[in-house]
Amino acid sequence: MPASTLPFTMVEYERRLTKVRAAMQEWEVDVLFVEDPSNMAWLTGYDGWSFYVHQGVLVFLDEDPIWWGRLQDANGAIRTCWMDDDRASGYADYFVQAKDCHPMEDLAAILTRKGYANKRIGVELDNYYFSAKAFLTLQKELPNANFVDATALVNWQRGVKSDEEILFMRRAARISEKIIDGILERIEPGVKKHELVAEIYADAVRGVDDSWGDYPAIVPLLPSGSDAAAPHLTWSWTSFEKGEATFFEISGCYRRYHAPFCRTVFLGKPPQHLVDAEKALVDGLHAGLDAARPGNCAGDVSRALHAELAKGGIERSARCGYPIGISYPPDWGERTISFRDNDNTELQAGMTFHFMPGLWMKDWGMEITESILVREGAAAECLCNRPRKMFVKD
Amino acid sequence: MPASTLPFTMVEYERRLTKVRAAMQEWEVDVLFVEDPSNMAWLTGYDGWSFYVHQGVLVFLDEDPIWWGRLQDANGAIRTCWMDDDRASGYADYFVQAKDCHPMEDLAAILTRKGYANKRIGVELDNYYFSAKAFLTLQKELPNANFVDATALVNWQRGVKSDEEILFMRRAARISEKIIDGILERIEPGVKKHELVAEIYADAVRGVDDSWGDYPAIVPLLPSGSDAAAPHLTWSWTSFEKGEATFFEISGCYRRYHAPFCRTVFLGKPPQHLVDAEKALVDGLHAGLDAARPGNCAGDVSRALHAELAKGGIERSARCGYPIGISYPPDWGERTISFRDNDNTELQAGMTFHFMPGLWMKDWGMEITESILVREGAAAECLCNRPRKMFVKD
C-alpha cells in the first residue's frame, strides 16, 4: 500500500522487524510463523477482521515478510501491509473450515518451496488462533522440521513503545476519558444498561477531534452490585439501581492501540465497606505508580499495591496489571509481563501497562485503574487524566 | 443461577446435553472438553468476556457438566450457568499467561481425580482458544489418556435450531433490519465512516422494543469502491464518496444469537457492470433460496447460485454460506457445513444459515445476503425482511 496511508513510518516498521530478527537469532529460529493478529499488524500493518480463519505472517532473516491467508483476504493484505503486493500469498477457499484438508498444508508447501522443510521453524504454540490442529498438521507435513516454541517472541519485542506508538496511545486515552465522562453524565437509577452501552459505543467510535475510534479488543464491561464480584460479565437489559456500585471497564482504541480505563460509580450513598475499599485501593494505586520505575521489577508494583490493600484488610490473589498497546480481540493485553509478586521482569522506560488491581470479592466488586507509561526519574505517568476515585452520584 | 433468568428453559438445556452425550457415544468419547465459548454457552448458559484465558466445560456421560476457568471468573459461571454452584471450578491466578506453568495442568488434575486419566478424552483440536500448547500440556500431564479429535462435535449438534433459538434469531433479525435502515437513512457523500459506525453500534445495542442488543461476534464491515474487493476491512476516518459502492456486513445480536445481513449502497448513478452484477446476484440468491430445502444438500444451494451468476459472467470460488446461531468473537458462523459445491451435507428443517455469496472481484465488491431458515415444503425463509437489491442513493 502507499506508505502515506500506513499508520506508521517505514522507519518504525524497520525498527520492529530488526528487533524481531534479532530475537529470532537469539531464540535460534530460522523462520518464524506469526498467527497472532496483533503481532501480524505490528510487524506488517495488516488490518482486517479475518482472524477467524487461519492466517499469519512468515518472518525471514533475509527477505521481507510474507502475509499468508485466505485468498479473498489477500486483497486486504495488499491494501494494508507495507510489503510489495507479491508478498501476499492466498490459499484456496476450499481449505476454509473443511473437514478433509487444512490450510496449514498450504503453508507447509510454501515453507518447503522456500527451503525451510528441515529448518528451525518458530511457531506461537500458546496463542489464540494457532490451534492444536494447525500445529499437528504442520508437524505431519514437515516431518523433518524442528519446531521451536516461539510463543510471545514478537510480543516481547512490543513491550517498549516508540514515540509513534505512544502518540497513538495518548489518542486512545482521550477517547477513554470521553467514554468515562459520558458514563458519569448519563448513569442514573432506572437507566437500562444496554441504553448506556449504546452511548458508550457511539462515544468510543466517534472519538475525539481527529482521533477517530477503532473497535476495542474487549467489549464494555459494567457489572453492578453483587454481580460486580464477577469481572467479565457483559451487559443486559437490566437497569442501574440506587444503592449499587457499578464498575466500568472500557478502553478507547485509536488504530488498534488501547488505553484501558476503569472507574466505579455508586448511585446513592455508598456503604462504609466500599468507602474503605476505595481508600485502600487509591492508596495502593498511588504506591504502585511510584514503584513503576525503570530498574524496578513488575513484582515491585504488585507488592507496593498489596501492602496498601493489606492496611485496608483486603487480600487479593490475581495479578494487578499487564502490558498494553496494539491489540485485536479477545484481549487488549500483550501476554508477556504480569504485575504479580513473583514476576521479576525489569521495567524499562517506554513500557506501557494497564495497572489493573480490580477487587472482585464474594459479593461486591470495584475497579479503579490506570493505563500507565513507565518513564525515567519519576513515578509512572497516567495516560488518562480523570479523578482517581469511586464516583458517587446521589 | 435462578432458572428464571437463564436465556432458555431447562428443557432446552437438557435437549442439548442429551444430543451431545449421544454424539460423544457415537464418537467414542468418555469425557469431552469444550473450550469454544459458543459451545460453552450453548451447553451451560455461561456468558462472559473471559475467553482470552483458558477455560472450558467438561461434559460427562453420567453427571452434570463442570465449568472450568480462571478463579475470578467462577463468580461469573455461578451467575450464568444452570448447573449447581459447586460445578464451577476455578484455577489459581498464577496460571494466567505464566511462563513456567499452564492452566491445563489444573484441568489434567481434575480429569485424573475423576478417573479419566486413562480414558478417551475428546478435545476440540481445531477451535479458537484451544491452543497447541494447551493440547501438548494435556498430553504431557495425561500420558495414558487417549485423546480424540472432537473438533465441532458440539457445533454439529447446534445445527438444527429449537423454536426457542429461532425466536432469538428473529429478534436479532429485527435488530439487523434496524441497523440497515439506519445506514440507508444516514449515508451521504462526505459522511465519515467512523461517524456512521458510531450510529450502527448505537442502533445495534439499543435494539428494537424489548429485544436489546448484545455485541455481535464480528464488527461492522463497510469497505467502499475498490476497497470492497477486500471482504474484511474495517472502518477508518475516510468519507463516503459519490460514485462509489459500499457494502455493509452487519448483524443484530440478541443474547448471543445472530442474524447477519448485508446490503450494498451506491451513492450516485451506478455503472452498468454493478447493475449487471446486482441482477445476477439477486437471481442467484433467489435460486439458492429455492434450493435450500430439506433433503437437498449444501452443494445444491451453491450450484443453484453459481448457475445464475454464470449467466451474468461472474465466477466465484469462495463458499457462499455457513450455519449461524449462537456465537462469540471472532466468528458468527458455526464452522460445520459450508455452502460449496462439494459439500454433500443434507439440509434439514430448522437449520439456519447466512447465505452469503459476497462478490469480491479485482477492484470492486458487492454483498447482498440473507439469513435463512430451512423449512418443510417451501423455499427457505429469510429472517430479515428488506428489499433484496443494491440500494442507490442519488
Read off the pLDDT of residues A36-63 as tens digits, 9 standing for 90 and up: 999 999 999 999 999 999 999 999 999 9
Chain B residues touching residue A93 (CB < 8 angstroms): 317-319, 340
- Give the cell for residue A82: 507495507
Band (A362; pLDDT cuts 50, 70, 90): confident
Band (A108; pLDDT cuts 50, 70, 90): very high
CB pair distance less than 8 Å for B80 and A233: yes
CA B103 to chain centre: 27
> What pLDDT digit, counting tens, does each position of A208-259 carry?
999 999 999 999 999 999 999 999 999 999 999 999 999 999 999 999 999 9
Is residue B1's pLDDT more than 70? no
Is residue B2's pLDDT more than 70? no
State the complex-level ipTM.
0.96
Interface contact A252, partner B, CB < 8 A = no
CB pair distance less than 8 Å for A49 and B232: yes
Find, among A324, A331, A326, the residue nearest to A128 by Cα.
Answer: A331
CB pair distance less than 8 Å for B72 and A231: yes
Band (B4; pLDDT cuts 50, 70, 90): low
C-alpha to C-alpha distance for A137 and B392, rounded to whole angstroms: 47
In angstroms, how far is the first alpha carbon of chain B from the final one?
53
C-alpha to C-alpha distance for A34 and A43, rounded to whole angstroms: 10
> What pLDDT digit, counting tens, does each position of B63-86 carry?
999 999 999 999 999 999 999 999
Band (A5; pLDDT cuts 50, 70, 90): confident
- What secondary structure letter does DSSP report for A144? T
- Give the cell for residue B140: 504431557
SS3 A174: helix
Chain A residues touching residue B333 (CB < 8 angstroms): 52, 97
Interface contact B18, partner A, CB < 8 A = no
Interface contact A126, partner B, CB < 8 A = yes
Q: Average per-residue pLDDT in chain B?
A: 96
Q: Could you say which of B71, B198, B234 has the minimum Cβ distance to residue A206?
A: B198
Q: Could you say which of B49, B72, B336 has the minimum Cβ distance to residue A234?
A: B49
| Sheet arrangement for strand B245-254 | B245-254, B257-267, B390-393
Min Cα separation B278/chain A (Å): 20
Q: Which A residues in the span 317-346 are in contact with B, Cβ-Cβ below 8 Å? A: 317-319, 322, 329-331, 333, 335-336, 338, 340, 342
Q: How buried is residue A53: exposed, middle or buried, by Cβ count under 10 Å (0-12/13-18/19+)?
A: buried
Stretch B262-272: mean pLDDT? 98
Q: Is the dihedral of CA A216, A222, A227, A231 positive or negative?
A: positive
Is residue A198's pLDDT more than 70? yes
Is residue A310's pLDDT more than 80? yes
Please report the pLDDT score of residue A3 as a whole number. Answer: 59
> What pLDDT digit, counting tens, does each position of A165-192 carry?
999 999 999 999 999 999 999 999 999 9
Q: Give the count of beta carbons closer than 10 Å to the beta carbon of residue B264.
A: 26
Residue B16: how many CA atoms within 13 Å on its side-chain side? 27
Instruction: Label each residue of chain B as H, E or C.
Output: CCHHHCCCCHHHHHHHHHHHHHHHHHCCCCEEEECCHHHHHHHHCCCCCCCCCCCEEEEECCCCCEEEEEHHHHHHHHHHCCCCHHHEEEECHHHCCCCCCCHHHHHHHHHHHCCCCCCEEEECCCCCCCEHHHHHHHHHHCCCCEEEECCCHHHHHCCECCHHHHHHHHHHHHHHHHHHHHHHHHCCCCCEHHHHHHHHHHHHHHCECCECCCCCCCCCECCEHHHHHCCCCCCCCCECCCCCEEEEEEEEEECCEEEEEEEEEEECCCCHHHHHHHHHHHHHHHHHHHHCCCCCEHHHHHHHHHHHHHHCCCCCCCCCEEEECECCCCCCECCCCCCCCCCCCECCCCEEEEECCCEECCCCEECCCEEEECCCCCCCEECCCCCCCEEEEC
> What pLDDT digit, counting tens, does each position of A251-291 carry?
999 999 999 999 999 999 999 999 999 999 999 999 999 99
Min Cα separation A150/chain B (Å): 11
- Mutation choice for B interface testing from A40, A171, A224, A233 by most B CBs within 10 A: A233
Is residue A2's pLDDT more than 60? no
Min Cα separation B156/chain A (Å): 12
- Give the cell for residue B295: 433433503
Chain A residues touching residue B96 (CB < 8 angstroms): 318-319, 338
Band (B153; pLDDT cuts 50, 70, 90): very high
For chain B, give the number of residues.
394
Please report the pLDDT score of residue B99 as a whole number. Answer: 87
Please report the pLDDT score of residue B5 as a whole number. Answer: 83
**Chain B nearest-CA residue for A49:** B232
Domains of chain A in sequence order: 10-157 (3.40.350.10), 163-393 (3.90.230.10)
Is residue B91's pLDDT more than 70? yes
Is residue A4's pLDDT more than 90? no
